[in-house]
């Protein structure tokens, strides 16, 4: 599949500002990255030597903010080993920047809302049900027959371990999720000692949304709508379908003990990071060996992520933490989700199942068989007419039309329904998934409103089946093979045949091939972290996974997401731990990563970037039976054209002598931006993350070595990227160092940026998105006629009268590389400031008309008339005009439509007529915020403002 990153331009004007200007400082990527902060509510880690001997609540009361009565404690964390502190909600305004500096406070973070886990694809249903209504069953139907129903186990070598009796016995896995329906027979049918779900806790209750008060309960049972996710992840870990019930499904570690911790309610809301941390600490306290977390949020920075410290402390105490990397692969590089981006978490990417494990057969009137994918057979549908979306538009509907992205198709469908042309009781709506229009962005929700009861989805390209469920609409899928079969049937229908019918008469379950099987799912989020740590660490089956579902929802569901891949790795870690109980967490990670199998890009000869797959597809059998240890488990080369040599140690733990060979396997080179750079590479897919063959080279101090039993040896690997001409495109190179002996192969993934981000600087120079504005530059912008016209290179005049017809100055800048702080302000036209980049010709003399107002003290010694826009990832005080938020992958635009700016002390500054210049500064990577030399800067042309007094 060719997958596009959402890099189209946002509206140039929008958002909010501390001043009365219309300001946009917007991320061009995903709204999923937005962070919702619970007002005046904080996680506070307390210093151990501050009033020693007191409990966290008592210590808080000794701090300056805690000495006031205006607060209540939400959570108390009294683990001196993992996290000692509180989460607290204050009744009055408290700013985080001040709180972090308070005596007795070791660290502090805002309490934020973590979105509830949403699978990328979800196919559910009740047996013999025409809709998605709930159908609670005392027993499970028997649908055995699919030979490869447990294909994910075979893909990862788990089936071979099960055949040896290795099933995770003696290992405890904590699942932090939406709770679990432990009444499900495949999950043991009960809760408590002696059951598969042996322990757990409900931290929130049914009604929790992330904003109201949680209602804890010792029972993690969740059978409600919205609570199903945890039942599915628990099944992937440990389900065992009873004999003659279900599909014959088996989890990865069916003999492991499962502890279920509920942190999400039944509603559509999320949870909060302080609740999740409480669950993590409880899991460790209850004896977890492995913690599995299938949810996430955040913005790609490890810095100041509260999960980072807790994950590290859990790992240091012997608890492996496995976390999903996220389902926002469409956003491209640098979008891992938290807590998956935590440095010491084993973050997991998703790989597509080799088959669609549940399919049934329908026949047309000519007895042509068509296999459709559904959890249960749709035999109750009987004979149905197939009606293609887009019929009635006057042109033959093709896959693009039937995708539903054009709203005209829905108008035509509504019209046909109103005329009585269609009877939805015996008609199925046929829709398509295409590369140009996947269901994530279309209007399929229109179907239910029109009256559609059943939809059939086919794929026209090498797309993943990715339709989301629709309330009241049953959805059936066709795999690639059967999609083509249906297309061929339609192409060869007799000219006089106006209708096509299918009879749903098959009730025997089967599996059908998945063309995308064993490739990294397009939805799986990319790493690395902003700090250039390799994430994800490893991959496992997560696309089209059949597992348990609450009994009230039919008992089973077919879901896709890194949520599904994560418990698979947790179960794999349990299998390894059960056989190697002496292994520390880092050793556990290393064995799983080194024995994983690197995967290729779908349809290409290139190995997929480690930013997509980490070490590759887990091979649990190889991990358990490995007798060679490789250290380190990953190589983070950071950002440099000449990274330092890396030392790699091989230890032979076998009982005999071994000869090892060493080789380099380059992986795909990727970059965020295409067709965005002056003179850049001509890639026709605007904004896509497209794998390129720009291989790094590698030299080894030794190409082979011989080790006796128990012996270790170290060699050096010098990895050198190719020189990159477009550093502003956020390029990432990747690959593997492979060590092999006989039939055994071990891989160490590496990742790096081929240039120094500090030297390149955050500002994207001469960057021009196709059909849009160049950056950095100033444009004339009219609210009544948006679009922007390039201004004169050295000076231009603007009238600020308040009329919508005014041509206003629009300052437009792109920052691609990470920066902790970006500032856009107005300075004196005759400033002596020397920028990194001139937005005008400094040799052209101008007769300045300086305004009759004084400049403010400004920032770092540069006098200023005021701030247009500023953003930082660091905490800011409550009265600061600087916004806390993303500072890379931004289009920073400031439209001056009002003569009012804001000073650094958050006071309003009224501009008068005169000449000004825009000054933009962005802190370089690893720069010192207090050092002016550590900023990259752009000084723009003269803005001659004619201000009409109000």
pLDDT in tens, 660-713: 999 999 999 998 765 555 455 444 344 457 899 999 999 999 999 999 999 999
Pick the CATH number of 35-114 from 3.40.630.10, 3.90.650.10, 3.30.70.80, 3.40.630.30: 3.30.70.80
What gap in Å lies between CA 707 and CA 730, rounded to an integer?
41
User: Would you state the pLDDT for residue 30?
Assistant: 28
List residues bridging with 344 in a β-sheet.
Answer: none
Catalytic status, residue 664: no
Q: Which residues contact 115 (CB under 8 A, 6 or more apart)?
A: 32, 270, 295, 296, 297
Question: Counting every residue, how long is the chain?
Answer: 950
What gap in Å lies between CA 765 and CA 775, rounded to an integer?
6
User: Would you state the pLDDT for residue 131?
Assistant: 37
Q: pLDDT grade, residue 225 (50/70/90)?
A: confident
231: DSSP letter: H
User: Would you state the pLDDT for residue 148?
Assistant: 97
Cite the residue boundaries of each domain of the chain with CATH code 3.40.50.200.
151-354+517-590
Catalytic residue among 17, 79, 82, 177: 177
Q: Which two tokens stand for residue 153?
A: 């186990």
Q: pLDDT grade, residue 768 (50/70/90)?
A: low
Cite the residue boundaries of each domain of the chain with CATH code 3.50.30.30.
356-513
Q: Which of 656, 570, 610 is CA-nearest to residue 753?
A: 610
Helix axes 562-579, 229-238, angle to 10 degrees: 30
Least confident window among 372-386, 537-551, 796-810:
796-810
pLDDT, average across residues 835-844? 96
Of residues 770 and 322, more confidence is placed in 322
Cβ pair 911, 897 in contact under 8 A: no
pLDDT, average across residues 396-420? 91
pLDDT, average across residues 758-779? 78
List pLDDT tens digits, range 798-818.
Answer: 999 888 889 899 998 888 788
Element (H, E) at 40: strand 36-46
Q: pLDDT grade, residue 441 (50/70/90)?
A: very low
Please report where in the chains the tokens 């005049």 appear, as a residue.
797
Least confident window among 75-84, 746-755, 808-817:
808-817
Q: Which two tokens stand for residue 278?
A: 């409480």
Element (H, E) at 760: helix 757-760
Cite the residue boundaries of each domain of the chain with CATH code 3.30.70.80.
35-114
Measured CA distances, 164 to 488, 569, 715 (Å): 46, 19, 36
Cβ pair 750, 610 in contact under 8 A: yes
Q: pLDDT grade, residue 460 (50/70/90)?
A: confident
Greatest CA span in the chain, whole angstroms? 91
Q: Which residues contact 573 (CB under 8 A, 6 or more apart)?
A: 290, 320, 322, 346, 588, 592
Q: What is the pTM of this model?
A: 0.92
Catalytic status, residue 229: yes
Q: Count the Cβ atoms, other than its own, within 10 Å of residue 239.
A: 25
What gap in Å lies between CA 357 and CA 374, rounded to an integer?
9
Cβ pair 303, 496 in contact under 8 A: no
Pick the CATH number of 151-354+517-590 from 3.40.50.300, 3.40.50.200, 3.20.20.70, 3.30.420.40: 3.40.50.200
CA 742, chain centre distance (Å): 38
Cβ pair 241, 252 in contact under 8 A: no
Catalytic residue among 82, 162, 184, 229: 229
- Alpha helix segments (H runs only) across 403-501: 408-418, 446-450, 480-491
Question: Does residue 236 register a pLDDT over 60?
Answer: yes
Catalytic status, residue 803: no
Q: Which two tokens stand for residue 77?
A: 């964390």
- Alpha helix segments (H runs only) across 258-305: 273-285
Q: With 0-12 CB in 10 A as exposed, 13-18 as middle and 19+ as buried, what is 729?
A: buried
Q: Give the chain's mean pLDDT.
A: 89
Q: Which of 578-587, 854-863, 903-912 has the highest mean pLDDT?
A: 578-587
Element (H, E) at 717: strand 712-720
Question: Does residue 471 register a pLDDT over 90?
Answer: no
Of residues 399 and 741, more confidence is placed in 741
Pick the CATH number of 627-755 from 2.60.40.2310, 3.40.50.2300, 3.40.50.300, 3.10.150.10: 2.60.40.2310
Please report where in the chains the tokens 């056989």 appear, as a residue.
579
Using DSSP bridges, classify how beta strands 866-872 and 883-884 pair: parallel, antiparallel or unpaired: parallel
2: DSSP letter: -
Catalytic residue among 563, 741, 747, 814: 563
User: Would you state the pLDDT for residue 127?
Assistant: 62
Q: Which two tokens stand for residue 394?
A: 């006057």
Using DSSP bridges, classify how beta strands 744-753 and 635-639 pair: parallel, antiparallel or unpaired: parallel
Pick the CATH number of 356-513 from 3.40.50.450, 3.50.30.30, 3.30.1490.20, 3.40.50.620: 3.50.30.30
Question: Does residue 10 register a pLDDT over 60?
Answer: no
What gap in Å lies between CA 786 and CA 800, rounded to an integer?
16
What gap in Å lies between CA 175 and CA 392, rounded to an integer?
50
pLDDT, average across residues 254-280? 96
Q: pLDDT grade, residue 300 (50/70/90)?
A: confident
Angle at 69 between CA 105 and CA 35, to 5 degrees: 55
Of residues 681 and 830, more confidence is placed in 830
Q: DSSP per residue over 134-148, as a string?
A: ----SS--B----TT
Helix axes 585-594, 562-579, angle to 10 degrees: 110
User: Would you state the pLDDT for residue 23?
Assistant: 22
Using DSSP bridges, classify how beta strands 862-864 and 510-513 pair: parallel, antiparallel or unpaired: unpaired
List pLDDT tens digits, range 604-623.
Answer: 999 999 999 999 999 999 99
Q: By percentage, how much of the chain surpasses pLDDT 70? A: 90
pLDDT, average across residues 108-124? 86
Question: Does residue 8 register a pLDDT over 60?
Answer: no
Please report where in the chains the tokens 């996710």 appear, as a residue.
229
pLDDT, average across residues 109-132? 73
Task: Using DSSP, state whether 149 is helix, strand or coil.
Answer: coil
pLDDT, average across residues 757-771? 77
List pLDDT tens digits, range 387-401.
Answer: 999 998 888 888 889
Task: Using DSSP, state whether 152 is helix, strand or coil.
Answer: helix
pLDDT, average across residues 319-344? 93
List pLDDT tens digits, range 156-196.
Answer: 999 999 999 999 999 999 999 999 999 999 999 999 999 99
Question: Does residue 22 register a pLDDT over 50?
Answer: no
425: DSSP letter: T
What gap in Å lies between CA 240 and CA 554, rounded to an integer?
16
User: Would you state the pLDDT for residue 466?
Assistant: 62
User: Would you state the pLDDT for residue 815?
Assistant: 84
Cis link prior to 565 (omega < 30° from 0)? Answer: no
Say what the alpha-carbon torsion angle 799, 800, 805, 808 is, to the nearest 10 degrees. Answer: 80
Q: Count the Cβ atoms, other than its own, within 10 Å of residue 64.
A: 12
User: Would you state the pLDDT for residue 217?
Assistant: 96
The CA-to-CA distance between both ends of the chain, in Å, stands at 57
Q: Count the Cβ atoms, other than its own, within 10 Å of residue 287.
A: 12
Q: Which of 491, 247, 242, 518 is CA-nearest to residue 360?
A: 247
Cite the residue boundaries of each domain of the chain with CATH code 2.60.40.2310.
627-755
Rg over CA atoms, the chain: 29
User: Would you state the pLDDT for residue 97?
Assistant: 87
User: Would you state the pLDDT for residue 485?
Assistant: 96
Q: By percentage, how much of the chain surpasses pLDDT 90? A: 71
Element (H, E) at 489: helix 480-491
Using DSSP bridges, classify how beta strands 105-114 and 271-272 pair: parallel, antiparallel or unpaired: antiparallel
Q: pLDDT grade, residue 126 (50/70/90)?
A: low
Q: Which of 163, 166, 216, 221 is CA-nearest to residue 188?
A: 221
What gap in Å lies between CA 668 and CA 635, rounded to an integer?
16
Q: Count the Cβ atoms, other than its own, within 10 Å of residue 97.
A: 14
């Amino acid at each position: 599949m060719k997958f596009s990153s959402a890099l189209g331009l946002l509206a140039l004007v929008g958002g909010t500002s501390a001043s009365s200007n219309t300001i946009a400082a917007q991320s061009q990527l995903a709204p999923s990255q937005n962070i919702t902060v619970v007002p005046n509510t904080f996680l506070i880690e307390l210093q151990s030597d501050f009033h020693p001997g007191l409990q966290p609540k008592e210590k808080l009361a000794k701090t300056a903010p805690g000495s006031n009565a205006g607060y209540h404690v939400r959570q108390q964390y009294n683990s001196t080993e993992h996290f000692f502190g509180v989460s607290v909600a204050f009744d009055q305004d408290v700013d985080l920047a001040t709180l972090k500096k308070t005596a007795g406070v070791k660290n502090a973070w805002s309490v934020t809302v973590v979105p509830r886990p949403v699978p990328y694809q979800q196919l559910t249903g009740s047996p013999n049900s025409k809709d998605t209504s709930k159908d609670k069953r005392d027993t499970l139907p028997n649908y055995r027959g699919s030979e490869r129903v447990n294909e994910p186990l075979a893909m990862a070598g788990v089936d071979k371990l099960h055949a040896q009796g290795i099933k995770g016995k003696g290992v405890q896995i904590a699942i932090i999720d939406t709770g679990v329906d432990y009444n499900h027979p495949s999950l043991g049918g009960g809760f408590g000692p002696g059951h598969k779900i042996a322990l757990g806790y409900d931290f929130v209750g049914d009604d929790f949304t992330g904003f109201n008060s949680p209602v804890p309960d010792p029972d993690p049972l969740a059978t409600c709508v919205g609570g199903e996710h945890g039942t599915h992840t628990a099944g992937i870990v440990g389900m065992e379908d009873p004999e003659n019930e279900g599909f014959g499904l088996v989890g990865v570690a069916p003999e492991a003990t499962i502890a279920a911790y509920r942190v999400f309610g039944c509603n559509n809301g999320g949870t909060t990071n302080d609740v999740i941390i409480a669950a993590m600490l409880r899991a460790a306290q209850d004896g977890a060996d492995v913690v599995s977390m299938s949810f996430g949020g955040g913005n790609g920075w490890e810095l100041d992520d509260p999960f980072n410290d807790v994950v590290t402390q859990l790992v240091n105490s012997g608890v492996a933490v496995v976390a999903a990397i996220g389902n926002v692969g469409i956003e491209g590089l640098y979008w891992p989700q938290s807590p998956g981006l935590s440095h010491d978490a084993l973050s997991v990417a998703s790989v597509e199942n080799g088959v669609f494990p549940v399919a049934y057969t329908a026949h047309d009137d000519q007895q042509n068989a068509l296999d459709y994918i559904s959890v249960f057979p749709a035999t109750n549908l009987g004979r149905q007419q197939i009606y293609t979306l887009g019929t009635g538009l006057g042109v033959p509907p093709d896959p693009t039309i039937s995708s539903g992205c054009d709203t005209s198709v829905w108008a035509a469908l509504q019209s046909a329904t109103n005329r009585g042309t269609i009877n939805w009781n015996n008609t199925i709506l046929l829709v398509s998934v295409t590369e140009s229009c996947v269901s994530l962005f279309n209007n399929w929700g229109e179907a239910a409103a029109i009256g559609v009861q059943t939809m059939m989805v086919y794929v026209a390209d090498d797309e993943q089946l990715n339709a989301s469920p629709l309330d009241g609409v049953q959805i059936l899928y066709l795999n690639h093979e059967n999609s083509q079969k249906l297309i061929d049937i339609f192409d060869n229908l007799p000219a006089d045949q106006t209708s096509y019918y299918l009879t749903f008469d098959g009730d025997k379950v089967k599996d059908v091939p998945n063309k995308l099987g064993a490739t990294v799912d397009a939805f799986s989020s990319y790493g690395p972290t902003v700090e250039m740590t390799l994430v994800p660490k490893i991959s496992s089956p997560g696309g089209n996974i059949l597992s348990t579902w609450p009994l009230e929802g039919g008992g089973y569901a077919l879901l896709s997401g890194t949520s599904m891949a994560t418990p698979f790795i947790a179960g794999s870690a349990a299998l390894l731990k059960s056989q190697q109980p002496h292994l520390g967490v880092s050793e556990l990670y290393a064995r799983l990563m080194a024995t994983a199998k690197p995967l290729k890009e779908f349809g290409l000869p290139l190995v997929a970037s480690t930013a997509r797959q980490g070490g590759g597809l887990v091979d649990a059998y190889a991990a358990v039976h490995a007798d060679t240890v490789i250290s380190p488990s990953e190589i983070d080369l950071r950002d440099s054209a000449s990274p330092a040599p890396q030392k790699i140690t091989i230890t032979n733990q076998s009982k005999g002598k071994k000869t090892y060979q060493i080789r380099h396997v380059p992986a795909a080179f990727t970059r965020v931006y295409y067709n965005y750079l002056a003179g850049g590479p001509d890639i026709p897919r605007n904004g896509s993350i497209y794998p390129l063959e720009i291989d790094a080279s590698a030299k080894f101090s030794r190409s082979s070595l011989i080790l006796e039993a128990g012996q270790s040896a170290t060699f050096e690997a010098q990895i050198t990227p190719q020189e990159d001409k477009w550093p502003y495109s956020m390029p990432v190179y990747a690959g593997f160092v492979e060590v092999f002996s006989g039939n055994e192969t071990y891989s160490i993934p590496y990742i790096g940026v081929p240039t120094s981000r500090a030297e390149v600087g955050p500002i994207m120079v001469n960057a021009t998105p196709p059909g849009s504005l160049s950056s950095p530059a100033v444009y004339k912008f009219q609210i009544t006629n948006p679009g922007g016209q390039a201004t004169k290179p050295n000076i231009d005049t603007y009238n600020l009268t308040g009329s919508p017809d005014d041509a206003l100055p629009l300052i437009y800048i792109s920052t691609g590389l990470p920066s902790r702080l970006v500032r856009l302000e107005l300075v004196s036209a005759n400033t002596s400031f020397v920028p990194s980049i001139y937005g005008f010709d400094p040799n052209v003399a101008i007769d300045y008309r300086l305004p009759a107002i004084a400049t403010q003290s400004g920032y770092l010694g540069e006098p200023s008339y005021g701030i247009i826009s500023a953003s930082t990832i660091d905490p800011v005080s409550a009265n600061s005009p600087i916004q806390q938020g993303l500072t890379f992958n931004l289009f920073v635009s400031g439209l001056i439509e009002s003569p009012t700016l804001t000073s650094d002390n958050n006071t309003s500054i009224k501009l008068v007529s005169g000449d000004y210049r825009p000054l933009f500064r962005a802190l370089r990577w690893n720069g010192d915020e207090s050092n002016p030399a550590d900023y990259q800067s752009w000084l723009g042309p003269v803005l001659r403002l004619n201000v009409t007094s109000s």
